[in-house]
Amino acid sequence: MSKKYITPEGTRDLVLGECKIKRNLQNKIENVLDKWGYNEVVTPTIEFYETFNSGFQNLREEDVYKFFDNKGRILVLRPDMTIPIARVVATKFKDVADPIRFRYSADVFRVNQSLGGKKNEYTDCGVELIGVKDSSSDLEILVTALDVLKILEESEIKLEIGNINFFNSAVKNLNLQEEERLKLAQLIDKKSLKELEDFLAQLKVTEDYKEFFTKLPWLFGGREVLEKAKEYSFNDELKESIEYLEKLASTLDELGYGDCISFDLGMVQRLNYYTGITFRGYVEGVGAIALSGGRYDNLIALFGEDRPAVGFSINLDSLLDIMKDKNMNIKESYKLYYGNESMVEAFKQGEMLRQEGYVVEMIFDETLIGGVKKEKVGKKI
């Protein structure tokens, strides 16, 4: 009985031109980030489970790949790059002046739901801007994200922006248990309207609050959404969150990015992680979220160094399919056929052609008598 050698669930092989497409895309992204002054950092693929458990706070063991070292300590394949960088900043950059700009390109690993269509291994390219709390750093990170998405020249892009403080300001005076607060945020973020309505019916909150949270998932779209959100803002903090987004929107519009941005006040994922703006990038033809990020001012403090930060990562693998048609260009190449007598001459010719920029494939044919046979072909790369 023959064995079937397959890859583990959620992983894939990259074959033929896919590796080149991915490498070219990664190089383009890294080139953009280099021009913004971000320096590359490389962290271990393996980290201690406790490092991520401290950073995520509510990390579920079943969501990560775990194993043990020779001392019995739990290790994980990194499910995220922001937390390793927070660890690096807190341990190795205590005396370095702000701001600190890091970029990375790394494989990350997460155990996603079976048959959910998500990859368990993929490459993240991203940046972290550390040590600047004012609006200028939020603006920088948003424009950097848009510049990265602009690499996909012929595809329509959209950056959807939210503010976690809008939700937090609404719930802070409610006597909700932590599990209730997280569940409420999850239903709003996923726009699970019927479940949200049923869940609100169980909570001990007033009708005004129930109406507010029911409308929150619908507050997405263009700048008119911010005007609508003002109508629902029942305290000053809610209004400040909207005014902050309005300020960012005006500046992005002046910079020429107005058509590329929208807003979603119901974007409230990962409450224990983000502390300000959150955003997601979408690309025409890509079914998944291509880019995501936000402000996380409290994370690095968990590792002993209190510094604000904001960043984003782009899922490189999610973009491969739409990049194929743009990268599979036809380039002149040669096949050189040679026999025993013409071996040296064939390799000399091949070297000359490669120096001229051609792709050259060497093909040995022991039956070939005489000189080198050169065939000009087109090759997809």
CATH superfamily of 165-283: Bira Bifunctional Protein; Domain 2 (3.30.930.10)
Nearest Cα to Cα of residue 263 among 249, 273, 276: 249
> Is 34 labelled a binding residue?
no
Residue-level pLDDT at 323: 77
Place of tokens 């922001």: 82
Residues 160-215: tens digit of each pLDDT = 999 999 999 999 889 899 889 989 999 999 999 999 999 999 998 889 899 999 99
* Count of residues in the chain: 381
CA distance 157 to 289: 11
Residue-level pLDDT at 251: 97
> Is 82 labelled a binding residue?
yes
Q: Buried b vs exposed e over 28-59: b needs ≥16 C-beta within 10 Å?
A: ebbebbeebebeebebeeebebebbbbbbeeb
Confidence grade of residue 53 (pLDDT, cut at 50, 70, 90): confident
> Is 23 labelled a binding residue?
no
Q: Which fold has domain 1-156+294-328?
A: BirA Bifunctional Protein; domain 2 (3.30.930)
> Is 81 labelled a binding residue?
yes
CA distance 225 to 191: 16
Residue-level pLDDT at 380: 45
Residue-level pLDDT at 326: 57
**Secondary structure class of 98 (helix, strand, coil):** coil
Tokens of 225: 């959404």
Name the residue ranges covered by the structural domains of the chain: 1-156+294-328, 165-283, 331-380
Residues 333-342: tens digit of each pLDDT = 899 999 999 9
Give the Cβ contact number of residue 64 at 10 Å.
22
> Is 274 labelled a binding residue?
yes
| For residues 279-288, average pLDDT | 90
> Is 128 labelled a binding residue?
yes
Residues 226-239: tens digit of each pLDDT = 999 999 899 999 99
Residue-level pLDDT at 381: 44
CA distance 30 to 36: 10
> Is 305 labelled a binding residue?
no
| For residues 62-88, average pLDDT | 93
- CA 188 from chain centre, in angstroms, equals 22
- CA 160 from chain centre, in angstroms, equals 14
- Cβ burial, residue 133 (10 Å; 0-12/13-18/19+): middle
> Is beta strand 121-130 parallel, antiparallel or unpaired with respect to 74-77?
unpaired
